[in-house]
Amino acid sequence: MRILVVGAGAVGGYFGACLAAAGRDVTFLVRERRAAQLRAIGLQVKSPNGDFGIEPSDLKLISAEQLVSAKSAFDLILLATKAYALDAAMDDFAPAIGGEAAILPLLNGMRHLDMLSARFGREHVLGGSSRIVGDLDPEGRVLHIEHWQDLVFGELDKSVTPRIEAIAKTMHGASFEDQLSPNILDFMWQKWVFLASLAGLTCMLRGSIGEIARMPFGVETEQAFLQECAAIARASGYPPAGKSLANVTARLTDPQSMLTASMYRDLQKNSLVEADHILGDLLRRGNALGLESSLLQAAYVQLSVYMAGREGA
């Protein structure tokens, strides 16, 4: 199976490196700045589970321009860009879509599924989600920050097709936890509830989960934010399971937790953030269902102000 990884950042870089190290046929679609880093030091991963890397001579890199002229056929597009870069990414990898090619997006939220389906046809789009905390250091090394490293995927219509079974076989044994889920949309919604709560809280209140929890009314605010997001999922037909919601509540109210969202880390670096895709889309869905989500709304407005100021500057 030929795999094209789109977005060799923390998420795409990590899973792509795992697959390449396991002997899978992996090509990375990269822009010139990232390509220069990879040609210089290879794809290096620093992980609590053990450091590893792919040497520059063993890396297969391709640019968008080369993809057009190469007319290469890929079986799987592993899409791991930021949501705000999705339009540009679709333009870049469009020449690779053909035949039975499947797109496995690892973006958060739901709006990207509609965008990908509108552009390439729903038959080419899978559901996918990953649980990994990572970043890139200034030299371009992937920093795998916590032990989590799972990748969950499935067909959007809940079917178990020969295509998804072949993908599952390819993913298995590549040094991360892989799971074929017949109900991938439910899984994605559960993660969206957690991530929107984590991002909204840490960005709006400018601290880790533990720092917020230790403040007066901190735990109550964390619980209220999560309840707003869970209510939207419930009204949308994807109610969080009791045990799952209890686990998420415990993680988002732990006074000793250093957990922050990648959106918060991007905010600290004065980088673009995925506010509209993760918070704004969830808020609009809740509003359409007649739900009031004042904390979610406040967090989204705050991040929208930040983005407007950044773009204006």
Q: Compute the mean pLDDT over every residue in the chain, rounded to the nearest whole number.
A: 94
Distances (CA, A) of 271 to 50, 84, 163: 29, 11, 37
Share of the chain above pLDDT 90, in %: 89
Query: 2: part of which helix (H) or strand (E)?
Result: strand 2-6
User: What is d(CA 80, CA 60) in angstroms, rounded to the nearest whole number?
Assistant: 17
**How much is the average pLDDT of 285-302?**
98
pLDDT, tens digit, 9 for 90 and up, residues 161-189: 999 999 999 999 999 999 999 999 999 99
Radius of gyration of the chain (CA): 19
Give tens-digit pLDDT for 84-133.
Answer: 999 999 999 999 998 889 999 999 999 999 999 999 999 999 999 998 88
Q: Catalytic amino acids?
A: 191
pLDDT of residue 69: 86
| pLDDT score for 313 | 60
Strands 52-54, 61-62: pairing kind: unpaired
The whole-number pLDDT of residue 62 equals 95
Calpha distance 252→221 (Å, rounded): 10
- pLDDT tens, residue by residue, 48-75: 989 999 999 999 999 999 999 877 789 9
Instruction: Determine the pLDDT at residue 73.
Output: 82
Taking residues 17-44, report their average pLDDT. Answer: 96
Which domains occur in the chain, in start order? 2-182 (3.40.50.720), 187-312 (1.10.1040.10)
Determine how β-strand 142-144 pairs with β-strand 134-136: antiparallel
Model pLDDT, residue 161: 95
